[in-house]
């Protein structure tokens, strides 16, 4: 991202744009809301555990929406759960991001036609930044999605909200 | 160990033809004893307490839509079923003796009412709530007959009935794909 490109020779001082600094800070500490809904949540937990180690991207689970930057909707959102997901999202402080993980939360997944209880896509209740396809997506896929989200944040403008 | 036929005969001797309706042996696995829905609580209590039967466990209680009524189409081509029955199946097991039995009660679709067995086998409590939630079968004298899975404000809609149609909206959320 070139944050350290214009370093002065005597150290301790770095010149950069406010925008770049804020974006860099945001994307490097994306704290996710500890929250899982169905089978996809197992893959999300696997992604956080030592093998895939999401922590190396600065992504770690926080137990309260007040401390979270990103909500990974991992799994089947039922109609009963939809209002709760929305409330969790609303409780998060801005700037906040949403990753929709898995077919269920993207579009209803296996329940798209006969699931009387399933919301056919979480984007019907909250705005989604990144959709990760798969049933369930492997941890690599989730990581790819999160890297895409970081990419998106990197190009955010202070004057205009893009994510 | 008793076979379904023997259990059927014991029950029939005790309760008579009005309560123990018949024995269905055409199903491949279990023979099913059909019971009068307003007497299922008494029959269950006997099954549990009788020395020679000792059915101490209710393994499963499930609702079934028999869909044996007449199918009627309205002007929008939406099919509903009128008449016929909804059923509840009970699968009991005796841990002590090691035998099993299956019971069925059938109740009219328009006003489905079955006596509760919740106080005889505590397992039945949530299972009956599920059958109520999914099929709208009312369990008389159940202490807490609320929906168990669907939202409380779901209304008078029972999703596992064969003629169920998704509503367009639920609390402003579009439901169909
Ligand atoms: S997308 Fe597949 S793995 Fe993920 S919650 Fe739905 S059914 Fe489970």
Are A116 and B159 in contact (CB < 8 Å)? yes
* Nearest chain A residue (CA) to B161: A116
Give pLDDT tens digits for A97-126.
999 999 999 999 899 888 899 999 999 999
Any atom of ligand 1 within 6 Å of the Cβ of A110: yes
Total domains in chain B come to 1
ipTM of the complex: 0.76
pLDDT band of B75, cuts 50, 70, 90: confident
Two tokens, residue B155: 């209304």
**What percent of the residues of chain B are helix, what percent strand, and what percent coil, each to the nearest 5?**
20, 30, 50
The whole domain housing B14 covers 4-174
Whether the predicted model's global pTM rises above the 0.90 cut: no
Q: Look over chain B and give the mean of its residue pLDDT values, rounded to a whole number.
A: 90
* Nearest chain B residue (CA) to A124: B173
- Find the CATH number of the domain harbouring B84: 3.30.460.80
Name the DSSP letter for residue A137.
Answer: P
What integer is the mean pLDDT of A78-104? 92
Backbone φ, ψ for residue B32 (5° rounding): -115, 125
């Amino acid at each position: 991202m070139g944050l350290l490109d214009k370093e002065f020779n005597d150290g301790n001082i770095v010149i950069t744009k406010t925008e770049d600094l804020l974006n860099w800070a945001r994307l490097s500490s994306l704290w996710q809301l500890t929250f899982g809904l169905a089978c996809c949540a197992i893959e999300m937990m696997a992604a956080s555990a030592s093998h895939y180690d999401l922590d190396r991207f600065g992504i770690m689970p926080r137990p309260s929406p007040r401390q979270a930057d990103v909500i990974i909707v991992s799994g089947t959102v039922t109609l009963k759960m939809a209002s709760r997901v929305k409330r969790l999202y609303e409780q998060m402080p801005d700037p906040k991001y949403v990753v929709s993980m898995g077919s269920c939360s993207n579009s209803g997944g296996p329940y798209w036609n006969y699931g009387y209880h399933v919301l056919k896509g979480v984007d019907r209740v909250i705005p989604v930044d990144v959709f990760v396809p798969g049933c369930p997506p492997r941890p690599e896929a989730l990581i790819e999605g999160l890297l895409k989200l970081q990419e998106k944040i990197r190009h955010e403008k202070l004057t205009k909200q893009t994510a | 160990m008793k076979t379904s036929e023997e259990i059927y005969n014991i029950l029939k001797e005790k309760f008579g033809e009005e309560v123990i309706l018949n024995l269905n042996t055409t199903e491949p696995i279990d023979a099913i004893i059909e019971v009068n829905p307003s007497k299922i609580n008494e029959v269950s209590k006997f099954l549990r307490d009788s020395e020679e039967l000792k059915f101490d466990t209710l393994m499963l209680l499930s609702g079934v839509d028999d869909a044996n009524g007449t199918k009627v189409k309205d002007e929008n081509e939406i099919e509903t079923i009128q008449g016929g029955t909804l059923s509840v199946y009970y699968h009991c097991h005796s841990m002590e003796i090691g035998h099993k039995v299956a019971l069925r009660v059938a109740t009219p679709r328009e006003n489905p009412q079955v006596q509760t067995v919740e106080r005889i086998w505590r397992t039945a409590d949530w299972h009956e709530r599920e059958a109520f939630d999914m099929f709208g079968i009312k369990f008389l004298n159940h202490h807490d007959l609320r929906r168990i899975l669907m939202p409380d404000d779901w209304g008078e809609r029972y999703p596992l009935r064969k003629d169920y149609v998704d509503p367009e909206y639920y609390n402003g959320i579009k439901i169909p794909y």
